[in-house]
Structure formats: C-alpha cells, structure tokens
C-alpha cells in the first residue's frame, strides 16, 4: 500500500528531552474517532481534531507517529485486505518504534487482533488494540482512558529495557487481554471484551498491574514481517436442535469451502444421527478441514469424552481445545492460505502459534 492510502503525522511531545519511547499509533476507524456531522450522524473525525480531545497526551514523554487510513472504515466492513494494509504499515514503521497502538472499531477487533497475532508472531513488540464504546467527542467517553493507558502499556519496559508485553493484545476498560483470546461480550457497557479461557495480561487502576507469568516471553530474535495470504473459503456451522441435512450440506458440500468452524454444544458434542455423521465423514474425506469449537464462552472441547463427540473424533474432526471462534476462523484463513498439505494444515491447527489455544 502506498502512502496515498494513509496520512502521517509525527508528534514529539517529549521534546526537547529524549522520548521515553517511540510509539506508532494507527487509526483504522471505529467509534473512538467519530464525531457528529451536520446531519447528526457519526462520521470519522480528522486525526488532528481527535487530538484536541486528549489534552492529557501532552503529559506523556513520548514521540508518537500517527498513521491514519485515508478512508477510515467501520469495523463491520473489515476484510483481510485491511489486515494486510495494517501489517504493511507496521512493517514500514516498526523498526523506528518501541510499541504500536491500533485504534479499531469494537465489532471485529477480536478478529483483527487474532489475525495480526499470527502474522506478527515473533515481532516481540507490544501491539495494543483499543477503541471505545462512545466517541471521543462525547463527555462521558471511555476513549481517553483506553487510549492513554494503551499508550502507557505499549511504551512500558522492564529494567533491562525490554518491552513488558511483547505480543498482540487488546486493552479495554481497565483490562488487558491477549488479542487471540478476546471476545466482544458487551455492546452497551464499557467492559466490552473478555477472555474466558485465559487470564488477564494486566489490569489498570491506580497503577497497571502486570500478570507476568501469563505474558508471552520476550525474545531478542525478531522476524521479518511478511504479508500473509488469507484463504477466504471458510465457513462457520453452528449446531442447533432441529438443524436439517440441507443446511449442513449447504456448507460442507460447497466446493469453495475448505475450512469449517463447527460450533458444537458444551465440551464439543453434536447430534449422532447417521446423516449428520455421514456428512462430516464425507467432508473430511474431501479434505475439508473441520475444527470443533464450543458454543460456550468458557470451557473447552474435549472431543471423545462423550459418545456425542466420539463420532466427530472418529470422523477426523480437529479438536479446537479452548480456542475462540474468532481465533479459529482467522487461524484457518492464515494456515490454509500458506499450507497446501491437508495433513500439515491439521498439524498446524492443533499446534499453538502464539498462545491462542492450550
């Protein structure tokens, strides 16, 4: 993506002193940067106008490079091409920065954070996603605290000068969660994101309390960022009482679908009627990679524990353990985009890339 696709603004608020850290701040769109238009509708704000609503940012000893997409998008319109735009920006600028903060709409933030956790695995720098439930122009907005604390986390270093949280995360309403463990759980409350199957990485209050044992360890080795190929022939098949054979076949017999997230009951259970098992077996024989993910927010798939999941195990369905639906979808897209071997793709789905499953 050329610089025509984004705008750049550098703000050295630490000047004339050396900055505590250099932060890359990327604005993709979302509620946090919205303002009211003449018609009363919320529209993306100019980046400089946003800064007028965050006076506290001038108290931070940081050098901040602001990058804004030329056309900020509502996160409901996010597509893998946008993930690659963000990755390309990071690739172009991360070498001169200590940490990265990404402003993103909440609706698909968990998907983007999961996708980038795979693509940026090994970057060993903080990449903190944040946003807001209320626009930054609203008096009661949660945008200020979310943004300011995200900047602090992205710039935090230990006594050795190493980043404290060298992984992709989401900060929202006092809580820092691993990006590929997060799920949006609230649309009207400020505590929008939760991590049901993995502990919080940090909590903010009077101070920021880091949960060091569960944070990804820092490594001096660093990857060269590559732009992934995302395979979009993915589908989600939620199981429910009364689901018909026609509905199942519409997904599993579709030649363009090569990866399916099967949303099952409880610990990975599904109906055992013959037609359903036959549909699953035939899809696996046709090398459709099916991953079993629980419909429950908390808990994990233990395929084979009950008879109602043993038939899935026997058919060749891959257990998703405690992975989220968002992380499973994006991992399928990431793995199938680069892996031609069906067996190798299964192995990679079963193997954690960056802490997305236990």
pLDDT in tens, the chain (358 residues): 555 677 776 766 655 678 889 999 999 988 787 766 666 666 666 666 666 777 777 778 888 898 988 888 889 999 999 999 999 999 999 999 999 999 999 999 999 999 999 999 999 999 999 999 888 878 888 888 999 999 999 999 999 999 999 999 999 999 999 999 999 998 888 888 999 999 999 999 999 999 999 999 999 888 889 999 999 999 999 999 999 999 999 999 999 999 999 999 999 999 999 999 999 999 999 999 999 999 999 989 999 888 889 999 999 999 999 999 999 999 999 999 999 999 999 999 999 999 999 9
Question: Is 287 found in the same domain as 204?
Answer: no
DSSP, res 201 = S
Residues 66 and 114 grouped into a single domain: yes
In a domain, 31, yes or no: yes
Q: Report yes or no on 61 lying in a domain.
A: yes
Q: By residue range, what is the domain housing residue 333?
A: 234-350
Q: Is the domain of 43 the same as that of 158? A: yes
* pTM as predicted: 0.93
- Residue 221 included in any domain: no
Inside any domain, residue 226: no
Do 93 and 50 fall within a single domain? yes
Domain check: are 166 and 263 in the same one? no
Strand locations in 196-350, DSSP E? 202-204, 208-210, 234-238, 259-264, 289-294, 318-319
Quick one: 83 and 168 in the same domain?
Answer: yes
* Total Cβ atoms within 10 A of residue 144: 16
Q: Check if 31 is active-site.
A: yes
- Which domain CATH number covers 96? 3.40.50.1170
Tell me whether residue 8 is in a domain.
yes
The pLDDT score that the predictor gives to residue 285 is 97
**Does a structural domain hold residue 220?**
no
Helices (H), 36-138: 47-51, 80-93, 109-119
- Shared-domain flag, residues 21 and 89: yes
- Distance, in Å, from the CA atom of 222 to the CA atom of 193, rounded to the nearest integer, reads 29
Judge if 191 and 259 occupy the same domain.
no
Catalytic residue among 28, 31, 137, 141: 31
Domain co-membership, 140 together with 194: yes
Last residue of a domain, one of 164, 180, 214: 214
262 and 330 assigned to the same domain: yes
How many folded domains does the chain comprise? 2
What pLDDT does 211 receive?
98
Contact 208, 126 (CB under 8 A): no
357 part of a folded domain: no
Q: How many CA atoms lie within 13 A of 103 on its CB side?
A: 34
- In a domain? residue 287: yes
């Amino acid at each position: 993506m050329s610089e025509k696709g984004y705008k750049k603004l550098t703000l050295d608020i630490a000047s004339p002193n050396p900055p505590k850290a250099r932060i890359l701040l990327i604005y993709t769109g979302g509620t946090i940067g919205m303002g009211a238009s003449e018609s009363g509708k919320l529209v993306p704000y100019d980046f400089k106008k946003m800064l007028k609503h965050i006076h506290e940012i001038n108290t931070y000893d940081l050098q901040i490079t602001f990058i804004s997409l030329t056309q900020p998008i509502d996160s409901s319109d996010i597509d893998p091409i946008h993930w690659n735009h963000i990755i390309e920006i990071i690739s172009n600028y991360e070498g001169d920065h200590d940490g990265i903060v990404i402003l993103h709409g909440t609706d698909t933030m968990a998907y983007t954070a999961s996708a980038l956790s795979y693509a940026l695995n090994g970057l060993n720098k903080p990449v903190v996603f944040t946003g807001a439930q209320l626009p930054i122009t609203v008096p009661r907005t949660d945008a200020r605290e979310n943004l300011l604390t995200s900047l602090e986390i992205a710039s935090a270093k230990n006594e050795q000068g190493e980043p404290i949280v060298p992984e992709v995360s989401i900060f929202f309403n006092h809580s820092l969660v691993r990006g590929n463990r997060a799920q949006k759980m609230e649309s009207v409350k400020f505590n929008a994101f939760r991590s049901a199957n993995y502990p919080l990485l940090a909590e903010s209050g009077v101070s920021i309390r880091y949960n060091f044992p569960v944070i990804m360890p820092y490594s001096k080795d660093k990857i060269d960022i590559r732009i992934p190929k995302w395979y979009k022939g993915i589908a989600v098949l939620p199981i429910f009482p009364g689901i018909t054979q026609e509905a199942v076949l519409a997904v599993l017999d579709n030649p363009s679908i090569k990866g399916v997230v099967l949303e099952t009951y409880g610990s990975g259970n599904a109906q055992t009627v013959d037609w359903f098992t036959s549909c699953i077996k035939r899809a696996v024989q046709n090398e459709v990679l099916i991953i079993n993910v629980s419909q429950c927010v908390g808990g994990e798939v233990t395929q084979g524990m009950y008879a109602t999941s043993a038939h899935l195990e026997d058919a060749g369905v891959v257990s998703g353990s405690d992975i989220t639906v968002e992380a499973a979808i994006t991992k399928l897209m990431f793995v199938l985009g680069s892996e031609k071997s069906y067996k190798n793709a299964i192995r990679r789905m079963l193997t954690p890339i960056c802490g997305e499953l236990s």
